[in-house]
């Protein structure tokens, strides 16, 4: 009965915290982005050299887009003539370095962990974007068009502050409806882990002493978690049960960056070799970030 009470209490507290965080961060970021015209984003991204990669990673980090928005934007950047490497930095950073993930990590783990996560994943997005361009990844882009309805985006872009704020909140609420089921699943699994799985069991197989815990966690994230909103509450529960923070971070990056829906949509504009390259890039990012976390934290 005590375990059940702890499980239900954990579920309620974490679910409410993540719900408020998601709606608040999504509304604020959508409102900020509404003041930046899409044409200006494309112009910034068109900078050559490493500056384009840095800007691409920043745009990905500042936009809480799901795959349904990221993929059309990616194709739009490519069609507009943006450098391939800069676009790939955007593709890499968008799922693993968005404000939702950063906000959740800051709240659940701490600001130091959030800053370290940002630095490592941002650096990886820039570097791997350059690598993919230098190795000729551009030849694996399909010649396709992705339809995208910009009417909702246009409604946020126009009007006074009050109207933009309302439209931004409606957009955040619409996004929340999409992730609601994934959040419920993640918090439910995390609650069960918190309430019923012995701490000794988690520590033995995924504690700091196991060097294979991080790459295994990154691989597990691919098929198991289809959104970061699902992975983060599970990772939080695993951390409290003794799993190394590095393994948890690797699991979150693997789940957010290599999620099956995102990879499926990427396959609509990229050939198989480039999709596999993106998967490998996310995997290495997850593993590197995990080891960095264990070393510093």
8 A C-beta contact, residue 47 and residue 80: no
**Residue range 264-290: average pLDDT?**
88
Residues 6+ apart with CB under 8 A from 123: none
Q: Is the pLDDT of residue 6 over 50?
A: yes
pLDDT top residue among 222 and 93: 93
pLDDT band at residue 226 using 50, 70 and 90 as cut-offs = low
For residue 115, the model assigns a pLDDT of: 94
**Residue range 156-179: average pLDDT?**
77
8 A C-beta contact, residue 207 and residue 177: no
Residues 6+ apart with CB under 8 A from 31: 164, 165, 168
- Please report, for residues 113, 188, 192, 297, the alpha-carbon distance to residue 11 in angstroms, rounded to integers and kept in the order given: 23, 6, 9, 26
Q: Is the pLDDT of residue 201 over 60?
A: yes
Domain boundaries, the chain: 2-296
User: In this structure, what token pair is assigned to residue 49?
Assistant: 């050299």
Separation CA 187–CA 209 (nearest Å): 27
Q: List the beta bridge partners of residue 270.
A: 141
DSSP 185-208: HHHHHHHHHHHHS-HHHHHHHHST
User: What are the backbone angles phi and psi of residue 270, rounded to the nearest 5°?
Assistant: -115, 150
| pLDDT tens sequence across 74-131 | 877 787 778 899 999 998 998 888 787 888 788 778 899 999 999 999 999 999 999 9
pLDDT top residue among 199 and 34: 34
For residue 78, the model assigns a pLDDT of: 80
For residue 19, the model assigns a pLDDT of: 84
User: In this structure, what token pair is assigned to residue 76?
Assistant: 């739009």
pLDDT top residue among 295 and 219: 295
| pLDDT tens sequence across 37-73 | 666 766 776 777 788 899 989 888 877 555 556 776 7
């Amino acid at each position: 009965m005590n375990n059940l009470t702890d499980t239900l209490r954990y579920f309620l507290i974490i679910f409410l915290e993540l719900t408020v965080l998601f709606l608040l961060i999504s509304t604020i970021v959508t409102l900020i982005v509404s003041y930046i015209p899409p044409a200006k984003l494309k112009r910034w991204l068109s900078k050559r050299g490493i500056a384009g990669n840095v800007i691409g990673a920043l745009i990905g980090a500042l936009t809480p887009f799901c795959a349904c928005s990221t993929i059309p934007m990616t194709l739009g950047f490519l069609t507009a003539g943006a450098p391939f490497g800069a676009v790939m930095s955007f593709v890499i950073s968008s799922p693993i370095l968005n404000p939702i993930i950063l906000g959740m990590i800051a709240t659940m783990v701490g600001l130091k962990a959030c800053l370290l996560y940002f630095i490592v994943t941002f650096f990886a997005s820039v570097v791997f974007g350059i690598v993919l361009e230098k190795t000729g990844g551009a030849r694996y882009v399909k010649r396709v068009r992705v339809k995208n309805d910009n009417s909702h985006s246009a409604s946020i872009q126009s009007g006074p502050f009050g109207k933009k704020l309302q439209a931004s909140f409606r957009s955040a609420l619409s996004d929340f409806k999409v992730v609601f089921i994934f959040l419920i699943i993640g918090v439910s699994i995390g609650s069960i882990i918190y309430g019923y799985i012995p701490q000794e069991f988690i520590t033995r197989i995924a504690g700091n002493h196991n060097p294979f815990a991080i790459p295994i966690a990154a691989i597990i994230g691919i098929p198991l978690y289809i959104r970061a909103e699902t992975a983060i509450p599970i990772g939080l529960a695993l951390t409290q049960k003794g799993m190394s923070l590095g393994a948890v971070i690797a699991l979150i990056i693997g789940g957010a960056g290599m999620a099956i829906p995102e990879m499926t949509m990427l396959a609509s504009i990229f050939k198989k070799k480039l999709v596999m390259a993106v998967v490998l890039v996310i995997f290495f990012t997850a593993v590197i970030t995990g080891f960095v976390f264990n070393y510093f934290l």
